[in-house]
Amino acid sequence: MTISTKIKLYANREVDFTKDVRLQDNSDGRGVFITEWNLDIPKPTMAELDAFEAQATIYENNQRIIATRKSLYGAWDKQLEEIYDNGIDSWKARIANIKLNNPKE
């Protein structure tokens, strides 16, 4: 999983990767690493970040699932039209089916 996700989990908050933390990849096969750390918590070691691997996997998988769900739900105005035209129960059934077919971890 990505180092940025692991850093967010380590920091337990959203991180601005243009101000708070800067990452770099020199394309030398060593991968991405932290070049600048401006958070008010200690800079983690790679071993500390690697401890978040399982959580990062779940987080990133769920982000993909959320994106899929959003695309299947459709725009809010279309959902409101659907509710108006077909009723709330029909809309709720469609949303429940989308969630059933695209479960989060």
Q: What is the DSSP string of 55-105?
A: HHHHHHHHHHHHHHHHHHH--HHHHHHHHHHH-HHHHHHHHHHHHHHS---
Of 9, 20, 21, 12, nearest in space to 49 by CA:
9
Residue 43: pLDDT band by 50, 70, 90 thresholds? very high
- Average pLDDT of the residues of the chain: 96
Instruction: Report how far residue 57's alpha carbon sits from residue 23's, in angstroms, rounded to the nearest whole number.
Output: 19
Q: What pLDDT score does 57 carry? A: 96
Convert the pLDDT of each residue in 1-20 to its tens digit.
899 999 999 999 999 999 99
Of 16, 56, 50, nearest in space to 33 by CA:
50
**Which residues on adjacent β-strands are paired with residue 37?**
21
